[in-house]
Amino acid sequence: MPKGGRKGGHKGRARQYTSPEEIDAQLQAEKQKAREEEEQGEEGGDGAAGDPKKEKKSLDSDESEDEEDDYQQKRKGVEGLIDIENPNRVAQTTKKVTQLDLDGPKELSRREREEIEKQKAKERYMKMHLAGKTEQAKADLARLAIIRKQREEAARKKEEERKAKDDATLSGKRMQSLSLNK
């Protein structure tokens, strides 16, 4: 047994079925409407057998009428039954490829602008750093100079110790050769 002891599904309302007479009446109304549109298309056109809406669009290039047609086609559900005047509703306009302006200046969002500014600031800082003009670069160069001095002193001491060792070994060999020659 389902939760709550209800019978049937939990979604939706009671189902309404249309009678066969209503279906026939709807079909006849649609056929009558289609015939009337064809007759209007033949009277108003130059003998071209086309869709009257398409002919209307080709004759009138008014954007507001195109938007109204699109809005009428997009109506769904209850919207088709109720006319709503919402002053805050913004109708979505579809632009044609010929209307697009790709060459004009593009408006950047705040995040994009901040990202570009951040990259430019980083590049400026790196240039200054490589030139040795930033505080961090000056500190790095001073540290490198101290390390160079320490290494030079260590190398000089090592060289002196090696020379002293060589001198000691040479003087030791001389002593041995002198003592053997006696």
User: What's the pLDDT tens digit per position in 157-178?
Assistant: 999 999 999 888 888 777 777 6
Are 132 and 141 spatial neighbours (Cβ–Cβ below 8 Å)? Answer: yes
pLDDT at 47 over 50: no
Q: What is the pLDDT of residue 88?
A: 81
Structural domain spans, the chain: 109-181
Helix (H, G, I), strand (E, B) or coil at 17: coil
Cut 0.75: pTM above it: no
Spatial CA neighbour of 60 closest among 72, 50, 52, 71: 52
Report the alpha-carbon distance of residue 137 to residue 110 in Å, rounded.
32
Reading the block at residue 153, the tokens are 């002193």
Reading the block at residue 154, the tokens are 């260590």
**Tens digit of pLDDT for each residue in 105-133?**
678 899 999 999 999 999 999 999 889 88
Q: How many CA atoms lie within 13 A of 147 on its CB side?
A: 6
- Place 6 in a pLDDT band, splitting at 50, 70 and 90: low
Report the alpha-carbon distance of residue 53 to residue 50 in Å, rounded.
9
Mean of the pLDDT values across residues 18-24? Answer: 90
Reading the block at residue 79, the tokens are 């919207």
**Tens digit of pLDDT for each residue in 54-76?**
444 444 444 555 555 555 566 66
Report the alpha-carbon distance of residue 149 to residue 66 in Å, rounded.
81
**58/91: higher pLDDT:** 91
- Place 49 in a pLDDT band, splitting at 50, 70 and 90: very low
Read off the DSSP letter of residue 50. Answer: S
